[in-house]
Amino acid sequence: MRDPVRLDGPGRGGPDLPEVMARVADGDQDAFTTVYDAVSGPVFGLVLKVLRDPAQSEEVAQEVLVEVWRTAARYRPELGSVTTWVMTMAHRRAVDRVRSEQAAAERERRTARRSHTPAYDQVSEEVTVRLESEQVRRCLRTLTELQRQAVTLAYYRGYTYREVAAALSAPLGTVKTRLRDGLIRLRDCMGVSA
């Protein structure tokens, strides 16, 4: 069952799951099992990448998956694939967890940020190398250095663009723009449509 990436929509060699989701919305628990098997690996992996802590990541991943069940009727196929819907929820929840903890420990965070600054390039590098998808790795390599670091720090670390700007010592407006043109370049490289 470990091949979840294939489930993501057109051009990736497999159908998406909208009709299964319709059954989930009707309360079909077997249909939910199908969705679970398709998305649980990506959901857990992404949450873990952002949060780092396995126990906390499991908690958040479980919340996301139960949320998929609970809100299945709110999924709107015309707005995107099931996997996009689920991964968007997963990322948002992981990021929310990061930020609520940051808010509670603002001072420590500032200290940590200072002491970790030299390692950012390395971190971004490491994130890229460890990704399982060859296509995503290849496309990330087509970005400029600043685009790649900005996108990976924002997405895989859950940084706000302001935090990204601080980490990379770049102006806020520049970072906002790089996040956009970096993603646009990735979109084109991966042939994503919506």
Partner 1 sequence: MSDEHLHAPTGAYALDALPDDERAAFERHLRDCPACAQEVRELTATAARLGLAAAGAPPAGMRERVLAGIGTVRQLPPEVPADPAIPGAPQVRAARRLPRLALAACLAAAAAFGGIAVWQHQVADRAEERADRSVAEAAELARVLAAPDARTASGELKDGARATVVVSRSRNQAVFVASGLPELPSGKTYQLWFADGGTMRPAGLVGADGALLMRGEVGAATGMGVTVEPAGGSDRPTSPPLAVMALPA
Residues 157-186 touching partner 1, rule: CB under 8 A, are: 158-162, 164, 173, 176-184, 186
Please say whether the beta carbons of 182 and 158 come within 8 A. no
Interface with partner 1 (CB under 8 A), residue total: 91
Minimum CB separation of residue 179 from partner 1 in Å reads 4
Counting contacts by CB under 8 A, is residue 129 touching partner 1?
A: no
Identify which range of 13-21, 83-91, 108-116, 117-125 contacts partner 1 by CB under 8 A: 83-91
Q: What does the per-residue mask of binding to partner 1 show for 6-45, with x meaning CB under 8 A?
A: --xx---------------x-x-x--xx--xx--xxxxxx
| Largest CA-CA distance found in the chain, in angstroms, rounded | 51
Counting contacts by CB under 8 A, is residue 124 touching partner 1?
A: no
Minimum CB separation of residue 18 from partner 1 in Å reads 14
- b/e map of 2-22 (b: 16 or more CB within 10 Å)? eebbebbbeebeeebbeebbe
Q: Give which of 89, 95, 107, 105 is closest to 164, Cα–Cα.
A: 95
Distances (CA, A) of 44 to 61, 180, 182: 5, 26, 25
* Per-residue 3-state assignment (H helix, E strand, C coil) for 165-190: HHHHCCCHHHHHHHHHHHHHHHHHHH
Pick between residue 104 and residue 115 the one whose CB is nearest to partner 1.
Answer: 104
Counting contacts by CB under 8 A, is residue 120 touching partner 1?
A: no
Strand intervals (E) in 10-127: none
Show contacts with partner 1 in window 85-104 (CB under 8 A). Answer: 85, 87-97, 99-100, 103-104
Pick between residue 115 and residue 193 the one whose CB is nearest to partner 1.
Answer: 193
